[in-house]
């Protein structure tokens, strides 16, 4: 595991597209990217069973709007 992991919601769409085109697994995403520090959702990046907002892969999707303010009403938000 790399010490320089990136937050998934902060990566550029081009990187998301590379993950999709490379058919990277959920396991790969879980091992190589971080969920926000304020998120306590267990394996939030697990796509199908994860946080639907954080796992939105669409261009200009909700993933790009993730912030403390956006997530503050979620049950998994760590205050």
| 67 located within any domain | yes
What pLDDT, on a 0 to 100 scale, did the predictor assign at position 72?
Answer: 96
Q: Give the whole-angstrom CA distance, residue 33 versus residue 69.
A: 21
What pLDDT, on a 0 to 100 scale, did the predictor assign at position 61?
Answer: 87
What pLDDT, on a 0 to 100 scale, did the predictor assign at position 74?
Answer: 96
What pLDDT, on a 0 to 100 scale, did the predictor assign at position 60?
Answer: 84
Regions in the chain scoring below 50 on pLDDT: none
Domain containing residue 55: 6-71
What pLDDT, on a 0 to 100 scale, did the predictor assign at position 34?
Answer: 97
Which class for 36: exposed (0-12), middle (13-18), buried (19 or more C-beta within 10 A)? buried
What pLDDT, on a 0 to 100 scale, did the predictor assign at position 10?
Answer: 95
If one counts the domains in the chain, the total is: 1
Q: Give the whole-angstrom CA distance, residue 20 versus residue 70.
A: 25
What pLDDT, on a 0 to 100 scale, did the predictor assign at position 2?
Answer: 54
| 1 located within any domain | no
């Amino acid at each position: 595991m790399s010490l320089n992991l990136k937050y998934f919601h902060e990566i550029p769409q081009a990187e998301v597209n590379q993950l999709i085109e490379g058919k990277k697994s959920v396991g790969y995403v879980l091992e190589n990217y971080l969920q926000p520090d304020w998120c306590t959702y267990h394996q939030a990046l697990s796509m199908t069973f994860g946080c639907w907002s954080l796992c939105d892969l669409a261009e200009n999707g909700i993933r790009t709007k993730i912030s403390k303010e956006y997530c503050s009403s979620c049950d998994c938000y760590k205050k």
